[in-house]
A and B are shown apart, each in its own frame.
Chain A
Amino acid sequence: MTPEIRLTESPAHLRHGANIGQPLTRRDGILKVTGKAPYAADRHPRGMLYAVLAVSSIARGRVTFLDVAAAKSHPGVVDVMTPTHKPPLAEDPDAKTNPFMFRMELLQSDAVRYANQPIAVVIAQTLEAATEGAALLTPTYETLSARVGLDADESFVPPAVGPGHPPIVEHGDVEAGLAAAAKAIDASYETPAQYHNAMEPHAIVASWDGDKLSIDTPSQGLAWAQGRIAGLFGIPVENIHIRSPFLGGGFGSKGLISGPQILGIMAARLVGRPVKLVLRREHMYGPVGHRAPTRQRLRLGTDGNGLLTALEHHAKTVTSSFDDFYESAADASHTLYASRAIRTSHEAVRVDTGTPLFMRAPGEATGSIALESAIDEMAWACGIDPLQFRIRNDAEVEPISGKPFSSKALRECYTKGAERFGWWERPLSPRQVRDENGFLVGWGMGTATFPALMFQANARAVLRADGSGVMETGAHDMGQGAWTALAQIAADGLGLDIDRVEFKAGTSDLPDAGIAGGSAHTATAGVAIHNAGAAVIAKLADLATRDQRSPLFGAGNAGVIARNGRLHRRDDETRCESYADILRRAGLAEIEATGGGAADPVAQADYAMHAHGAVFAEVKVDPDLGQIRVTRMVGAFAAGRIINPKLVRSQLFGGMIWGMSFALHEEAVMDRRSGRIMNPNLAEYHVPVNADVPSLDVLTVDEHDPHVNPLGIKGVGEIGITGSAGAVANAVWHATGVRVRRFPIRISDLLMAG
């Protein structure tokens, strides 16, 4: 039923070397370019039915009628799942026993709490019949007025923001710093609601066999998904098998299993047959999370030398009427710039929307565009080049905690990026440069930063008597390249060529690899792999060094090194033996060991750990039409050890384009009367297309960081957005002299100001 996933080795002509640090092409490349990589919606178990969601067209109220009879009378429709006709759940979907458990709509009532909320599921023989059945439900509603926008209601201070951060942080006296400032600015910025819009809509194929559940669904966190499903259906975790070898993008929206995915499992239980449920694109604007809108106020003061005397960053955001997630935008001001006084604070209002969620660089991206714009405004007020201003205010230690950085090659990013871009040619004043066509040319920059996080992971390593190795961890590949980068770490950990290592990932029966988020997956799962490799090598060394027949006899465990399938004596490398010989002589078919990866609490207490970067952007603006084109971007990033430069380049490019998109493209537009999103599709919710993407250049600055984790990895998945969004916004100002503080920047913002 399920095609086995067999990664094809990279063809020889595509190979550039081996293992960590080498720019290997993707090991899943051939599967992906031939259409053979199986995504969840590609599965088709025998006897499968199709399920289609019916979603609410109001934002608040309740469903008073569903024409189930009409839907059921449509040829091919098998059943309609509604609040009064659904399988029982073992747990209230509105229960919340930990902060990472989000409430979901699983037809527990007729209440509607946001537009596009699932209100029924139609199950049919064909996709066409299920789709038509959902349309035939023609619901009627009792509608209450929708609460929309940042001013919808009384605001409050949330108990925590982002992943459990304090909502208010104070260091020094901001008011005193502002009062003493030679120059000050006070500016407000608005960012819109954004939707992840992974190319692959959330999808699930679910099959029950008694109390055993087999599912195909994209997941950035297999173990969490398993736990949530186990709770909701009252079955043991080990009864749930999830396959998620490939995600068609996640960006945070697949970090936690969503309501619609659970509805697919419920539908399969209801009809007693395998069911496939795939979200339509418009269904993704509600029940699967989004980045909340913000209004941020920044007050900055500087002394006569252009040094910050105060930095205040306040962010107002929204959450849903029924659950809590708060975009931690102001936290972006905690680490980058030194200031005697820093204050960050948050407030929020409840609105009738799906609950916001982590979206690529949650908090950091949103806060970064405001902070980097404000820093640019402050530099201009001081008459200082914006890069010089940033260098002058660069934090030598983490400003609030006072901790030293575990490593921080930001100065080098500034210098190298500026050199590559040609930054020092830039005139200080805006609206000074035109190209040969008369377009206004502007240059802007921003500082990038993202915390170097670690979660928890486990891995299992095996060495076989034929000299090959296996590494297992339930890692997730959402495009960042886990199948390749983690296999590179596995190969080095086992001391084998990568083609001698079978790397298994992407299913829930493997050791928990932790969540693929927070730019921490390669570090976390990588360290587990590294440790599992070291543990199995230690076992092998033990066998050899205790065996009188081995050339390694007596060397002691610490006295051998593993390389290319052989153990060598450290003091005499000519004395060596192959793994295969050691195992064969010991009469063992294979040996195995496990290893874990987690943050080191001691290092975390002693050091501030962040990746950094500098992004430079050039825009051209049509002075008559206000049309903005980004023509060039250069990013320089310092993110610890780079496992695979080819994949890292793609990750950083992707982030930089997301940053550009934040500044110029993305916005979910809400109808204030109905509370419905007016552009829930890929034509009207603008994301960059190929023609929007400029010439991109990225360079990485070497960092050897012994503190972040044993491999020195900081992560690159999200940092590219930060800095980039501000760089583009600042370039628009530099081109036009118009400072736009509401994102995305629109043509009309420039024309109205002109």
Chain B
Amino acid sequence: MINSISLTVNGVRRDIALPDPRVTLLDLLREQLDLTGTKKGCDRGQCGACTILVNGRRINSCLALAISHNGADITTIEGLAQGEKLHPLQAAFIEHDGFQCGFCTPGQIMSALGLINEGQAGCDPERIREGMSGNLCRCSAYAGITEAVLDVQRTLAAEKERRVA
């Protein structure tokens, strides 16, 4: 039996034949859809390098079987920038040097996006650190990561305040 699924990946609908049910979302993205921005660091949900958004929520794509996500709306690091215009999180990661080797960076940024969507952390650095702790960075660019997320949260909070006023 050849299974197939359809996914919306970065806004584009993709119909995908899945002859092998063992394929994870991570391996599907990397090996079949040529979306290699999402990284594999451990393949068992321990490092966060494979973080993507599925229906707006952040998940470890290495722990998700593709076949069980038929119909899902997926956002990966490749879907954030609009043409040449970087997403504010991407710009903030550069500005605050929130990475060194860059391998964990796509996962960090997607996780930060998920965290912001969750509305749990706000502008509290302690809660941002906690909320970003599923994403390891062996270079330990954590200070810059926290500053970058905080920067974007503050901008969002200021915008919200302006709208209310």
Task: Please give the residue numbers on chain A whose beta carbons come within 8 Å of chain B beta carbons, in ascending order.
Answer: 10-11, 14, 25-26, 28-39, 41-42, 44, 76, 126-129, 132, 197-201, 246-251, 278, 280-281, 477-481, 646-647, 649-651, 653-654, 657-658, 681-683, 687-693, 696
> Are B44 and A29 neighbours in the complex by a CB distance under 8 Å?
no
Q: How far, in angstroms, from A113 to B70 measured CA to CA in the complex?
A: 46
A135 to B161, CA, bound (A): 57
Q: Are the C-beta atoms of B40 and A29 separated by less than 8 Å?
A: no
Contact B86 A687 (CB under 8 A): no
Q: Are A128 and B139 in contact (CB under 8 A)?
A: no
5 additional contacts, CB 8 Å, given A39-B103, A248-B104, A249-B138?
A34-B37, A126-B23, A128-B27, A247-B101, A654-B139
Expressed in whole angstroms, the minimum distance between the Cβ of A688 and any Cβ of chain B is 6
Main SS at interface, chain B? loop
With A126-B20, A281-B41 given, is the CB distance from A249 to B81 under 8 Å?
A: no
Q: Nearest CB to that of A246 among chain B residues? A: B102
Choose among A32, A38, A690 the residue that contacts B99 (Cβ–Cβ < 8 A).
Answer: A32
Contact with B141, one of A10, A29, A653 (Cβ below 8 angstroms): A653
**Shortest Cβ gap from B30 to chain A (Å):** 7
| Interface stretch (choices B1-9, B125-133, B152-160) | B125-133
Contact of B101 with A248 in the complex, beta carbons under 8 Å: yes
Taken together as a complex, chains A and B put the C-alpha atoms of A42 and B35 apart, in Å, by: 9
Contacts of A29 in B (CB 8 A): 93-94
Looking at the assembled complex, report how far the CB atom of A125 sits from the nearest CB atom of chain B, in whole angstroms: 10
Q: Which residues of B contact A (CB under 8 A)?
A: 20, 22-23, 27, 30-31, 34-44, 46-47, 49, 76-78, 80-81, 86, 90-91, 93-95, 97, 99-106, 109, 128-130, 132-146
Assembled-state Cα–Cα distance A182/B109 (Å): 58
Q: How far is A295 from B106 in the complex, measured between Cα atoms in Å?
A: 40
| Chain B: minimal CB distance from A662 (Å) | 12
B136 pairs with A683, CB closer than 8 A: no
In whole angstroms, how far apart are the Cα atoms of A385 and B103 in the complex?
Answer: 43
A249 and B38 in contact, given A33-B90, A35-B76, A687-B138 (Cβ under 8 angstroms)? no
**CB–CB B145/A690 < 8 A:** yes
B33 to chain A minimum Cβ distance, whole angstroms, is 11
Hey, which chain B residues are within 8 Å of A688, CB to CB? Answer: 140, 142
Interface centre among B99, B130, B142 (most CB of A within 10 A): B142
Say whether A479 contacts B101, CB under 8 Å: yes
Contact of B133 among A44, A478, A690 (CB under 8 A): A690
Known A-B contacts A198-B138, A280-B43, A682-B136; A35 and B95 likewise in contact (beta carbons under 8 Å): no
7 closest cross-chain pairs (CB), A and B: A35-B37, A248-B103, A479-B101, A479-B100, A32-B102, A35-B77, A42-B36
Q: Which chain B residue shows the least CB distance to A720? A: B140
Shortest Cβ distance from residue B96 to the other chain A in the assembled complex, whole angstroms? 9
Q: Are the CB atoms of A199 and B140 closer together than 8 Å?
A: no
- B39 with A128: CB separation less than 8 A: no
**With A128-B23, A681-B44, A696-B143 given, is the CB distance from A34 to B138 under 8 Å?**
no
**Can you name 29 A-B pairs with beta carbons within 8 Å?**
A10-B94, A25-B95, A30-B94, A33-B94, A33-B99, A126-B23, A128-B23, A128-B27, A199-B39, A199-B49, A199-B104, A200-B39, A200-B101, A249-B100, A251-B138, A281-B43, A650-B97, A651-B100, A654-B140, A654-B141, A657-B140, A681-B46, A683-B44, A687-B138, A690-B130, A691-B133, A693-B142, A693-B146, A696-B143
CB neighbours (8 Å) of B42 from chain A are 281, 681-682
Residue from the list A198, A646, A690 in contact with B101, Cβ < 8 A = A198
Residues in B with CB closer than 8 Å to A35 are 35-38, 76-78, 106
Residues of B within 8 A of A36 (CB): 37, 78
* Given known A33-B109, A647-B97, contact A201–B142 (CB-CB < 8 A): no
Task: Tell me which of A36, A477, A649 has the highest count of chain B C-beta atoms within 10 A of its own C-beta.
Answer: A36
Bound-state CA distance A639–B136 (Å) is: 28
Q: How far is the CA of A15 from the CA of B31 in the complex (A)?
A: 36
B129 & A691 in contact (Cβ 8 Å cutoff): yes
A681 to B102, CA, bound (A): 20
- Which residue of B is nearest A251, CB measured? B138
Chain A residue nearest to B126 (CB atoms) is: A691
Q: Is the CB of A649 within 8 A of B97?
A: yes
Known: A32-B102, A690-B146. A281 touches B44 (CB 8 A): yes
List B contacts of A31 (CB < 8 A).
102
- For A26, the chain B residues whose CB sits under 8 A away are 94, 97
A37 and B102 contact, CB distance less than 8 A: yes
Among residues of B, the one whose C-beta sits closest to the C-beta of A8 is: B84
Measured in the bound complex, the distance between the Cα atoms of B38 and A36 in whole Å is 10
Shortest CB–CB separation between residue A638 and chain B, in angstroms?
21
Contacts A198-B138, A200-B39, A687-B136 given: A682-B46 contact, CB under 8 Å?
yes
Interfacial chain B residues near A250, Cβ < 8 Å: 101
**A478-B139 Cα distance, complex, nearest whole Å:** 9
Q: Which residues does chain A contribute within 8 Å of B128, judged by CB atoms? A: 690
Q: How far is the CB of B112 from chain A (nearest CB, A)?
A: 11
* Residue in A closest to B110 when the chains form the complex, CB atoms: A35
Residue pair B41, A481 in contact (C-beta under 8 Å): no
Closest to A653 in B: B143
A706 to chain B, nearest CB (A): 30
Q: Is there contact, CB below 8 Å, between A200 and B41? A: yes
- Across the interface, name the chain A residue whose C-beta is closest to B102: A32
How far is the CB of A108 from the nearest CB of chain B, in Å? 29
